[in-house]
Structure 1
């Protein structure tokens, strides 16, 4: 029987902010969900693009050259190598699609950084 999941429901059940969980695999990519609130911090992924899709709430992604604002159902791809800083002024649920090699906080390590093992643990 096929596994059907609800990314929004899984993200809503998370108890930690900025702590993504893997909900599916697609070729060399992970599909992740996260609950966000506050400021994540500036970072970049040198070799990987990162897709954000807002499931609930509003997300601002600051980049050095510009910023984007995302509402429910909208997506944005942060191109590889672009420094960015996700900000959720209120609670926001997102789905991410990233290569399996993508480090959570890219070239920065902070208290919000989560290992792949942490991201793979059950909800």
Structure 2
């Protein structure tokens, strides 16, 4: 049987500094639970087959959409990005602590490969 323990999310955030590099902290029903520290701009991308859930623990995450809208996700809030919707996460210069829940098959930068693409995610 798999060991069952609680996970201290803020403690996990203290284990890494690199930004825009998700770290896996759990797995359930074919989904990974990931943590990432975010700062400044990410790349425009979409995920054809997967939805993404973003939850902010610290700071404010801004999510741009191609229709010109920007949605603010503040501490304690979540945003679900539907599959196929092009989006670009970014911050206002602060480091944002975010939790993501998405299928294990989700590629970090979706349909785009860039210098920010992480091909192999690690567990912490």
Question: Is the pair's TM-score, using the shorter chain for normalization, greater than 0.5?
Answer: yes
The residue aligned with 1:96 is 100
Query: How many residues are treated as equivalent by the alignment?
Result: 120
Which is richer in helix?
1
The Cα of 1:7 is off from its aligned counterpart by 2.2
Distance 1:122 1:106 in 2: 20
User: Which 4+ residue blocks in structure 1 deviate beyond 2 angstroms?
Assistant: none
Q: Deviations over 1:29-66 (max 9, x none)?
A: 00000001010110000110000000111100001122
The residue aligned with 1:111 is 115
The residue aligned with 2:29 is 27
**Which of the two has higher C-alpha Rg?**
2
Spell out the pairing of 1:1-123 with structure 2 (5 A cutoff): 2-65=4-67, 66-89=69-92, 90-115=94-119, 117=120, 119=121, 121-123=122-124
Distance 2:79 2:113 in 1: 23
Q: Secondary structure at the match of 1:22?
A: strand
Distance 2:56 2:7 in 1: 16
Gaps of 5+ in 2: none
- Could you tell me whether the CA contact under 8 Å between 2:46 and 2:111 is conserved in 1? yes
RMSD: 1.2
TM (norm. structure 2) is 0.91
TM (norm. structure 1) is 0.92
Distance 1:83 1:7 in 2: 28
